[in-house]
Amino acid sequence: MSAQFVVHALERLQPMASMSRGRLQELASLSVLQVFSRLREALPLADWMGQAVYLLRGELKLEYSDGASRVVVGDTDETRHPLQATSHILAGARPVTEVEILRLDENLVDLTVTWDQLSRGGSGADWSGMSALLGAESLAHGAFAALPPAHIDVLLQRFERIPVKRGDIILRQGDHGDFYYLIESGRCRVTRLVGGVEVHIAELKAGAAFGEEALVSDAPRNATVCMLTDGRLLRLAKAAFVELLREPLLHAVSWNEAAARTEAGARWLDVRFAPEYLHDGLPGALNIPLNELRESFSAMNRGEEYVVYCQSGRRSSAAAFLMSQRGFKASVVEGGLHRRSDGGVVGDRS
């Protein structure tokens, strides 16, 4: 089936029916469409965990944990809502005829609906055009994926939209950190002076965030950011950033809790330079220096939990925030290795 077919299907389903076509096209690319024969005995309910599931076509017998059952028909008022949207616990689903099933991540649907409604003028400004920033993929894994819903409306009110020109210097290495930035449109270059030589670090495009490291760690800017094109930025003052983003997204744990998490399967992440890690890093820790972390995200496992540490907690706080705002499950050890003795020595090298 074509993506256009899925878009047309989403236009009839709740709660997506009120969304713009652009938003529906994004969700269509993240949807799963399946066709099952009437000869199949039962559908795989295990695949439905955490999913919003819709019957687009055919007849399906739903069986519930209390022994009740009923037959539902696709493309009716009833099946324009998720099949699990009932007070009964679904225990089985058997095709009566050939059926067509559409599945979407339930959390993504809820996040998208929430942002979509709040971004359409409810905060005094229309943010609905911010497709790169508030796109479905960004909401699933981007800067706002883990943001408490109660903060969304306030956050939109606090952002300031500013036009920028090619060549504009947005941040200078060594300056005090005062704003957090999101790129609404345009591209910028990140560079760093190393031994008096300007080194290219990264090129950022619409939807990317920058400036958070200095705000999280209360350290000077560690890089310079210059616009490569004209564009628009969204900026958030430091006080609002701390209140609405850093505090909800930065999860600090003690050494005892960190040890318990790693024993349960989480992985240590040391964000110091390699010589520091080789000197006194924890056994089995993954070592990715903070300045290399952004470029390493594509190779890291989003399904894994990370416990991040450094010497003092400053670099690891910045790293854990960077990871959290990109959808990774990460916590930072309070105080870093300096505080290790407060909660017992973890993983000492002999």
Domain ranges of the chain: 3-107, 121-246, 250-343
Which class is 250-343 in CATH? alpha beta
Peptide bond into 15 cis (omega under 30): yes
The CA distance from 251 to 329, in Å, is 9
Phi (first) and psi of residue 82, to 5 degrees: -55, 145
The CA distance from 146 to 169, in Å, is 30
**What 3-state class would DSSP assign to 296?**
helix
Structure tokens at 254: 């003690």
Residues 212/290, Cβ–Cβ less than 8 Å: no
Which class is 3-107 in CATH? mainly beta
In which residue are the tokens 């560079």 written? 191
pLDDT bracket for residue 131 (50, 70, 90): very low
pLDDT bracket for residue 349 (50, 70, 90): very low
State pLDDT tens for residues 59-117: 999 999 888 999 999 999 999 999 986 667 888 999 999 999 999 988 788 777 766 66
**What 3-state class would DSSP assign to 322?**
helix
Residues 237/266, Cβ–Cβ less than 8 Å: no
On the question of a common fold for 121-246 and 250-343, the answer reads no
Phi (first) and psi of residue 215, to 5 degrees: -75, -35
Residue 148 has pLDDT above 70, yes or no: no
DSSP string, 10-46: HTTSTTGGGS-HHHHHHHHHT-EEEEE-TT-S---GG
CATH number of 121-246: 2.60.120.10
Q: Flag whether the pTM goes above 0.75.
A: no
The CA distance from 108 to 29, in Å, is 13
Structure tokens at 239: 């006080």
- Smallest CA-to-CA distance from 311 within 263, 349, 279 is with 279
State pLDDT tens for residues 65-75: 888 999 999 99
Question: What pLDDT does 149 receive?
Answer: 58
Question: What pLDDT does 58 receive?
Answer: 95
What residues pair up with 101 in beta bridges, in sequence order? Answer: 34, 55
∠207-211-216 over CA atoms, to 5°? 120
Residues 318/344, Cβ–Cβ less than 8 Å: no
